[in-house]
Structure formats: structure tokens, C-alpha cells
Amino acid sequence: MIREHPTTAYTDQKPGTSGLRKKVRVFQQANYAENFVQSVFDVVEGKEGATLVIGGDGRFLNREVIQVAIRMAAAAGFGRVVVGQGGILSTPAASNLIRIRGALGGLVLSASHNPGGPDEDFGIKYNIANGGPAPEKVTEAIHARTRTIEVWREVEGSDIDLDALGETRVGDMTVEVVDPVADYAALMEQLFDFAAIRAAGLTMAFDAMSAVTGPYATEILEKRLGFAPGTVRNGTPLPDFGGHHPDPNLVHARELYDLMMGPDAPDFGAASDGDGDRNLIIGRSRFVTPSDSLAMLAANAHLAPGYSQGLKGIARSMPTSAAADRVAAALGIACYETPTGWKFFGNLLDAGMATICGEESAGTGSDHVREKDGLWAVLLWLNILAATGKSVDQIARDHWATFGRNYYARHDYEGVESERADALMSELRGRLGALPGERFGDLVVEAADDFAYEDPTDGSISRNQGVRVLFEGGSRVVFRLSGTGTSGATLRVYLERFDAARTDEDTTAMLADIVAAADAIAGIVRHTGRTQPDVVT
């Protein structure tokens, strides 16, 4: 029996950079989550008898939303739901499951690296049949639907046992509870030389941040690769991530950073975020920026079995440093510059134009799935360390000696009043035409624009993707507002300076002139009232 629930539309259900993210309290409003899920189901075609993957990062509200989404999927005509045991699926594992099960799509319940718990964040993301985040035309249709929705539907029935593996029926639909780790771990074994990594005898520390990668990392690193018990820290997913912010950066993964810089550092340190798609890479006494990690992984990927044939191309988001471009040039392959958001890589990967992709926001991945993949990056690094016998620090130094170094930092100003942040951006956009030729200390502006992207596979155009100010000599500053925050606006300022010869300098010192120029150009202090960024990564 299908039950229809009359509802009223909410006007704030516009999916951001990756899905709908709001405070838990917002999601707890009557019909809020149901409206969004029903809007997804109303918009996607081909549901009859199709398979839908559902899972999340285990945060507060995960199980409740999964239960109702299963009943709604049955009412919408799906033939099968594949759900991770305990409601758990990392974002890359969900992407893999969608692909190997030939699913129509998947619901991934997560607010990624944002904190969880009753007063924190929740999110719902819809992924399409290629395993990747829904493209803009789909999210726009979902958003439009959320504004007119009048009813949501579920089959009548009670909650299923999410903890018991196996199949049950909900209405006419089969629900299959699967081991969330097994298929993903098998894929990793295909891509990487597990025997070589085991034989290398490396030591490591992996911080799962009490989030979804715990079970994946324990199975793969400790059980299959033989790293010592205890290698995986904070390995149990908790609904509130233990009260921490599951964002693998130098602020929130401080303990790992301190360990890696101290006398007892293992060979390799890494962390992943709430839903397992981001990564942090730190060697003994050497932090690797995400932009550099992308470049170094691309330069050495051929050492792993899954990439021994070489790369078809590299793609990076616009604010990501140009370090990867230099690798692509040396390899004689294309490098694509896309707007922020993993969804923009999907078409390039599907078309076989790119093999490896990455973003400054700690995301790296390849064509093995259609999401960024934290553990994948960790395993590729381990494979490279095992194959070369070098340390992370040696790999980094050798890389910079060959390609030069893109000094890089991101300054985040969080919780800025939206009007102030918008005023900063619109004033900046108004100044773009006047900037070329202007001098800021020793820096001379070569070009300035508001980044627009034309997808080479389908010609679709995305505008207003962030302001780029390029200086003569390959340095630049980029300004953009975050698409993933849930309170106020976050201004991100991306600073980059290229130096071909001096590759062992202090990043803060190397970027000081660009930081000063950024404020002179955008009036950051004047608009935000802040004299310091909240987070520097």
C-alpha cells in the first residue's frame, strides 16, 4: 500500500557544490528530507524496476533518513535498493557500487567534512548512473521540483534491519543490505600492488577522524596490507565524529600533523574526511599540499598496476595550483581546468579524456569511480613509496627539482555575513577590467577574469566560477565563495607563486607579497572586518 503525504514546499532546497547541506535542525522540520528525496525521485527517469544505492557516512540522522528513503524508493517503483550495512557507505564506495550494480543512481547521505550531531550538519546528494554527482541540469531540475512539490509517497511498512546482511522485501521492492567494504577493497586490490606495499615494510598512521573510512582503512591497511594494529586511529564511525570536525586539514588533523613532524613519526601519515572522499598526505617532516599531491601522483602513477599504461589526461579544478599542468606538459597529455566541484570531472572521465583528477580542497581520484577517493590517494602514495623506495620528502624534492615548485596556500574567512561577502565579490567583479597592468609591489597584473568553463564533451557553459587575477611570471590569486558552508558565507582566497629554481623556501614568506596584493585588490579587511583568515591550509 502506498501512502501519500500532503506537504508544502520549502524554498531553501537548492543543492550546492555537492548536494543539499543544511543544519540537522533544518532537516528535522516536518517533511524536509522527504520533500527533497521525493523531488529527486520525481525528476529522475527510468525508475521502474531499477536499482538504487543508498548509504551515508554514519552521521546523526543517517539511519532515520535511510529508512524513509527506502520506503519512498519502493513507492517510486524502484526494483531494488542496495544499502550498506548499518547505513554505512563511503562516497567513493557508493560510487563504485552504483557502477558495478548498474544502478540508476544513488543517494549519499553526508555533509562531507562538515561536523555532525544534533546541532551540526546533514546532507543528501544524488549521484547518477556513472557513479558521479548529478550534473547541474539534474540538480537544477531537482531544485525546481522542490519548489512545487505537494505530496510525497512511501509504501506502508516498518523500518528494516539495517544491520543484518541479506535481502528483505519492502512492498514490491527488494532491499539488499551489503558489506560496505568488500567490493571497494576488491577494486583497490586490482589497482594497486598490495604485495609490494606489504613487502616494503613501511610504517604509517591513518586518522579516520571517527568518520566513515574507519572500517575501510582497518580492512585494507591493517588486515590486507599488514600494517600494525593501531595504524588506523579514530577508526569507529560516530554520529557526531566524536565532537570533531572531520576535515582532514592541518587545523582539524592537528594531532596527526604533530606526530608526523615529531621524533616518533612513522614513514607515512594520512587522514580522510566525514564521507571518505578527501585525503590529507603527510610524510615524515613533510606536508604535501593537495595541489602538489595531485601533481606527484600523476607523475608517478605509472608505477601502480592500475595505471601502468599511462594517463590519458589530467584534470584539476581552477583554484588548484598549476603544478599538475607542468606534469601533463612533460607527459605530453592534456590538462583540463574545470570549475570547483567533482561533478565537472565526470564527463571528462566518461569520455576517456582524463585519468586522474584533483582539487586543492583535498580531493584526488581517478577513472576507477566518479568521485574523489581518499583511501585511493593513500594507496597510490603507498604504492609509489614501495615501488621507488623513496620517502615522501624525497619524492617531493625530486619533483620540485624537475618541475619547479608552485608555492600555495588557501586562506578561508568563515562565517562572514552573506551581504558583506557578496559585496566584496561584486565590487571585485566590477574592477576586473581595470586590473591588467596594475602594479602591487613587485607584482604586475597580467590578466583578470571571472572563470567560465565550457565542457569540451557537451559544450555546456558554467559561468561566474571564481575571480582569477594572474600576475606576470605565473603567480596568481583566486577569490571565490564556498558552495558547501551551512552558516553565513565562507570567502576562500587561493594564493599561488611559481618558482622554477628556489624550491626549498618557506611557503608563508614566498606568498607574503601575494597576500598583501590580495587585500589591496579585494579589500578583504575592509569588507569582512577580519584582519586574519580563520583557516590557512
Active-site amino acid positions: 112
- Contact between 492 and 518 under an 8 Å Cβ cutoff? The reply is no
Q: State how far the Cα of 357 lies from the Cα of 359, in Å rounded to an integer.
A: 7
**Shortest separation between residue 441's beta carbon and ligand G16, angstroms:** 28
Q: State how far the Cα of 50 lies from the Cα of 531, in Å rounded to an integer.
A: 53
How many residues contact ligand G16, by CB under 6 A? 17
- Contact between 251 and 535 under an 8 Å Cβ cutoff? The reply is yes
Instruction: Give the other-Cβ count within 10 Å of 432's Cβ.
Output: 17
Q: Which of 286, 492, 497, 527 binds ligand G16 (CB under 6 A)?
A: 492
CA-based nearest residue to 39, from 51, 48, 28, 31: 31
**Shortest separation between residue 198's beta carbon and ligand G16, angstroms:** 30
DSSP conformational letter for 15 = -
Q: Is 131 in the site for ligand G16 (CB under 6 A)?
A: no
Of residues 403 and 408, the one with the C-beta less far from ligand G16: 408
Q: Is 482 in the site for ligand G16 (CB under 6 A)?
A: yes
- Contact between 208 and 271 under an 8 Å Cβ cutoff? The reply is yes
Q: Which of 13, 62, 90, 112 binds ligand G16 (CB under 6 A)?
A: 112
Q: Is 366 in the site for ligand G16 (CB under 6 A)?
A: no
Of residues 383 and 465, the one with the C-beta less far from ligand G16: 465
Q: Is 139 in the site for ligand G16 (CB under 6 A)?
A: no
Write out the H or E segment, with its range, that includes residue 283. Answer: strand 279-283
Range 304-323, binding ligand G16 (CB under 6 A): 317
Of residues 17 and 537, the one with the C-beta less far from ligand G16: 17
Q: Is 120 in the site for ligand G16 (CB under 6 A)?
A: no
- Contact between 323 and 476 under an 8 Å Cβ cutoff? The reply is no
**Shortest separation between residue 224's beta carbon and ligand G16, angstroms:** 26
Q: State how far the Cα of 242 lies from the Cα of 336, in Å rounded to an integer.
A: 38
Q: Is 278 in the site for ligand G16 (CB under 6 A)?
A: yes
Q: Is 341 in the site for ligand G16 (CB under 6 A)?
A: yes
Q: Is 86 in the site for ligand G16 (CB under 6 A)?
A: no
**Shortest separation between residue 17's beta carbon and ligand G16, angstroms:** 4
Question: Would you give the distance in Å from CA 299 to the centre of its chain?
Answer: 21
Q: Is 488 in the site for ligand G16 (CB under 6 A)?
A: no
Residue 459 CA neighbour count, 13 Å, CB half: 0
Q: Which of 122, 126, 287, 342 binds ligand G16 (CB under 6 A)?
A: 342
Of residues 249 and 475, the one with the C-beta less far from ligand G16: 249
Instruction: Give the other-Cβ count within 10 Å of 264's Cβ.
Output: 8
Of residues 278 and 527, the one with the C-beta less far from ligand G16: 278
Q: How many residues does the chain have?
A: 537
C-alpha cell read off for 406: 608552485
Question: What is the binding site for ligand G16 (CB under 6 A)?
Answer: 17-18, 112-113, 277-278, 317, 340-342, 359, 361, 363, 482-484, 492
